[in-house]
Amino acid sequence: MFWKKSPGFSLFRSSTDLTTITFIFNTFLPRGMDEQRRCGRSFSFNWAGINSARGQVTIFLIVGIVILFVFAGGYYITSKMMKAPLSTKAEQQTSEMGIKERVTSFVTSCLRETSIAGVHLLAAGGGIIYPDFSKPILLTDFGMVNYASLNGVDGLSREKMEQDLEMFTVKTIPVCFRDFQPFEEQGIKIKVEYASVSAQYRLTETALDVVLKIPMEITTPTGDVIEMKNFEAKIQTSLLKMTNAAEKMNDQTLLLSPPYTFTVFPFDEKTTIYALTDEKSPEQTPLTLLFAVRNDSLSLRSPELEFISDKTFRVGQQWKDVLAAKRQETEELTFHSDSSDFPVSADGTIDLIIPPTGTYTVTFSVKTKRGLSDQQKVTIHVLEQQDQSISQEYTPPEIPEETIDENIFTTS
């Protein structure tokens, strides 16, 4: 051993330790230093011991710093390598979510447009789009109109309206989906199984709820596949409330409340067409419900003129009377006479002075606006006026005394 122990300092225990420290000093100390100082054999004991301890500390510090930088660099590189896939996956998920939201918004918009068009078409047909030919329907020059009431039987059905809307949506939604082209231009491919499309509608008094089931397979530009099927929409509409108001027409009564307005179109002597309009429809477009009301039993019933007996008058008398007829409550009647000597006003009033003597045959009649009528022939005898004191106003003739059965007045 070439080194002695010095108090307070660590010693190199072998030539190997000396060689190591000599290498470090040769490496890190300035090259201009004396070769003897760098070799270390002629150093004094104290100087050599002190510098050996400082060298060890310096080496440990340098090695620690190097190791720290090595670990920091390794951690940085490793985190970057791990973060890159995570970032790419997050961006990919965000991109897929954006595509899904865009497709959902597009399909929902198409569904709303199709449903609104179906509601207006349904209202124009009187609650039907596809007629059931097993039931009567009114055909006009402008199309078909459903009967809201036919001989007292209601023809409006919420279930039928919902079914027709479902069928209309399934048939027409592919037309709206032709606008998928902007997605295709961006590399997004959308495959739709039209054979599996179905729709479910639910009508309430203020809205229309719809669920569309249409399987879709969306392929993103990166090749990922997104599957979608169910879409929902809600449309504000007063269609059901209007059909409920239309049912009140069954009794030929117009029991409607604002904001609805109505128009009446007499179609024939048996049928009347009504147009019921909601000017303040929730969809900002006026909604018109067109429907027909028909009652064969009432329309074929002619008015019945009440019996008019034969008359006997004196010349110059005044005849005042009012004709009457049995009629339907909503029918407006007009009365007529075929004689200018015995006229009658339209409301059935008779007020005239008896003409010259003679026997007159007069036909009195009553008519409805639809041309249904009833009539009676009346024989009127006009006699000469023999006594100036006779009242000029007509009074029914007295019953001859010989026609009175005196037995009915016999008492026991």
361-389 pLDDT tens trace: 999 999 987 778 899 999 999 999 876 55
pLDDT in tens, 113-158: 999 999 999 999 999 999 988 888 898 888 889 998 888 788 889 9
Q: Is the pLDDT of residue 36 over 50?
A: no
Q: What is the 3-state secondary structure (H, E, C) of the chain?
A: CCCCCCCCCCCCCCHHHHHHHHHHHHHHCCCCCCHHHHHCCCCCHHHHHHHHHHHHHHHHHHHHHHHHHHHHHHHHHHHHHHHHHHHHHHHHHHHHHHHHHHHHHHHHHHHHHHHHHHHHHHHHCCCCCCCCCCCCCEEECCEEECEEEECCEECCCHHHHHHHHHHHHHHHHHHHHHHHHHHHHCCCEEEECHHHCEEEEEECCCEEEEEEEEEEEEECCCCCEEEEEEEEEEEECCHHHHHHHHHHHHHCCCCCCCCEEEEEEECCCCEEEEEEEECCCCCCCCEEEEEEEECHHHHCCCCEECCCCCEEEECCCEEEEECCEECCCCCCCEEEECCCCCCCCCCCEEEEECCCCEEEEEEEEEECCCCCEEEEEEEEEEECCCCCCCCCECCCCCCCHHHCCHHHHCCC
How confident is the model at residue 96, as a pLDDT? 64
The tens digit of pLDDT for each residue in 49-74 reads: 445 666 666 776 777 777 776 767 76
pLDDT tens, 97-115?
Answer: 688 888 899 999 999 999 9
Yes or no: say if 157 and 128 are a contact pair by the CB < 8 Å rule. no
Q: Select the more confidently predicted residue: 241 or 330.
A: 241
Say which CATH topology domain 304-396 has.
Immunoglobulin-like (2.60.40)
- The tens digit of pLDDT for each residue in 280-295 reads 776 668 899 999 988 7
pLDDT tens-place string over residues 204-234: 988 999 999 999 999 988 888 999 999 999 9
Give the global pTM.
0.52
Contact 27, 63 (CB under 8 A): no
Better-predicted residue by pLDDT, 308 or 399:
308
Q: What is the pLDDT of residue 57?
A: 66
Q: What is the mean pLDDT of residues 29-34?
A: 46
Q: Identify the pLDDT of residue 11.
A: 40
What is the structure's pLDDT at 265? 86
Residue-wise pLDDT tens digits, 169-190: 999 988 887 767 778 888 888 8
- Whether the per-residue pLDDT at 88 is higher than 50: the answer is no
pLDDT value of residue 397:
52
pLDDT single digits (tens) 244-284: 888 776 444 454 455 688 788 888 878 889 888 888 776 66
Please tell me the predicted confidence (pLDDT) of residue 167.
Answer: 95
**What residue spans define the domains of the chain?**
15-89, 92-298, 304-396
pLDDT for residue 296? 75
Task: Quote the pLDDT of residue 82.
Answer: 57
